[in-house]
């Protein structure tokens, strides 16, 4: 399967040109192996999941605490503009030499950091806004009842804001999955490889395969997180969010 030349990276796929998409998709061989669909899928999912989890772990507490304390107001408006302007590709490209210099290779740091920056902003923004815009009522009542500030934040504010926070995570995750394919063009793996190799070999099957897989995964990500939200959040919270006209950004 792999061309004999030693100058080729082992990750390149070689596929006969006259196979149509469906044949390729349903061929067991396509799925197997280090460059198979399964492996690529795994690479992409692992990276995206890692980025999203780290982004959540960093952004959510930071945003929640700042929002609770009513600090860092100005940054939100500024962040909205920034959030759509992160040039992920350029950042990742800039980080490649740096990563290589350190001996870490092409992956995973450049793409990881670039995608992380992309994911941080929508999650931070949604969390901050969600908690900041909560009505004073329940929070004051909780304080009067004797809850500690920390409990207020974790038990009340967080719960009430959770629907919006989830939608921020969903938006971030979809954006990460949608942007991740550029990784293949920067010396990496993942589902983007099919588009890359397809172009390189002038093989439309691979290109189409890549497109379908990438698009499918992006759609699936949205659905998975929505399902997750349904599982995790209590009914009352979701009802409340719907009443307040929760529209994702």
Partner 1 sequence: MTPGPLPSALVAQATNPIIEWEWVVEEWDQIWRAIVEHVTLTMMAMALGLIVSAFLAALALRRRWTMTPITATTSLIYTLPSVALFALLAPVFGNLSRWTAVLPLAGYTLLILVTNIVAGFQAVPPSVRDAADGMGMSRARRIWTVDLPLAVPFIVTGVRIATVSTVGMVTVAAIIGQGGLGRLIFSGLRRAFWTPMTVGASLSIILALVIDAMILAIGLWLAPWQRRRKGATP
| Positions that interact with partner 1 (CB under 8 A) | 6-12, 81, 84-91, 93-94, 96-98, 100-101, 103, 105-106, 174-175, 177-182, 184-187, 192, 195-200, 204, 207, 210-211, 214-215, 218, 222
Provide the minimum distance between the beta carbon of 125 and partner 1 in the complex, in angstroms, as a whole number. Answer: 14
Provide the minimum distance between the beta carbon of 200 and partner 1 in the complex, in angstroms, as a whole number. Answer: 4
Helix, strand, coil percentages, rounded to 5, for the chain: 75, 0, 25
**Do 95 and 110 contact (CB within 8 A), yes or no?**
yes
DSSP annotation string for 145-181: HT--HHHIIIIIIHHHHHHHHHHHHHHHHHHHHHHGG
3-state DSSP assignment of residue 5: coil
Beta carbon nearer to partner 1, 61 or 215: 215
Provide the minimum distance between the beta carbon of 179 and partner 1 in the complex, in angstroms, as a whole number. Answer: 7
Count the residues in the chain. 249
Beta carbon nearer to partner 1, 197 or 229: 197
The torsion defined by the Cα of 60, 66, 72 and 76, in degrees rounded to 10, comes to 30
110-125 burial string, b = 16+ CB within 10 Å, else e?
bbbbbbbbbbbbbbbb
Beta carbon nearer to partner 1, 6 or 231: 6
Beta carbon nearer to partner 1, 66 or 114: 114
* Residue 11 structure tokens: 């990750």
Provide the minimum distance between the beta carbon of 235 and partner 1 in the complex, in angstroms, as a whole number. Answer: 26
Beta carbon nearer to partner 1, 204 or 244: 204
Query: What angle (nearest 5°) sits at the alpha carbon of residue 154, between those of residues 227 and 231?
Result: 15
Provide the minimum distance between the beta carbon of 189 and partner 1 in the complex, in angstroms, as a whole number. Answer: 11
Provide the minimum distance between the beta carbon of 13 and partner 1 in the complex, in angstroms, as a whole number. Answer: 10
d(CA 79, CA 138): 28
Beta carbon nearer to partner 1, 138 or 222: 222
């Amino acid at each position: 399967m792999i061309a004999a030349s030693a100058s080729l990276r082992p990750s390149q796929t070689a596929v006969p040109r006259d196979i149509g998409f469906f044949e390729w998709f349903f061929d067991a061989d396509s799925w197997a192996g280090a460059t198979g669909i399964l492996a690529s899928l795994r690479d992409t999912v692992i990276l995206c999941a890692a980025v999203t989890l780290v982004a959540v772990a960093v952004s959510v507490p930071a945003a929640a605490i700042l929002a609770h304390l009513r600090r860092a107001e100005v940054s939100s408006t500024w962040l909205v503009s920034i959030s759509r302007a992160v040039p992920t590709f350029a950042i990742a490209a800039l980080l490649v030499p740096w990563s290589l210099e350190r001996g870490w290779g092409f992956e995973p740091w450049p793409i990881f950091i670039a995608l992380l920056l992309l994911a941080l902003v929508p999650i931070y923004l949604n969390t901050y806004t969600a908690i900041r815009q909560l009505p004073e009522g329940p929070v004051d009542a909780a304080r009067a009842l004797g809850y500690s500030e920390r409990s207020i934040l974790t038990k009340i504010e967080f719960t009430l804001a959770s629907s919006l926070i989830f939608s921020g995570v969903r938006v971030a995750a979809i954006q990460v999955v949608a942007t991740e394919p550029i990784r293949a063009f920067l010396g990496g793996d993942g589902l983007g490889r099919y588009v890359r190799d397809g172009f390189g070999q002038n093989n439309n099957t691979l290109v189409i395969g890549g497109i379908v897989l990438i698009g499918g995964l992006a759609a699936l990500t949205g659905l998975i997180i929505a399902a997750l939200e349904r599982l995790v959040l209590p009914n009352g919270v979701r009802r409340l969010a719907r009443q307040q006209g929760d529209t994702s950004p």
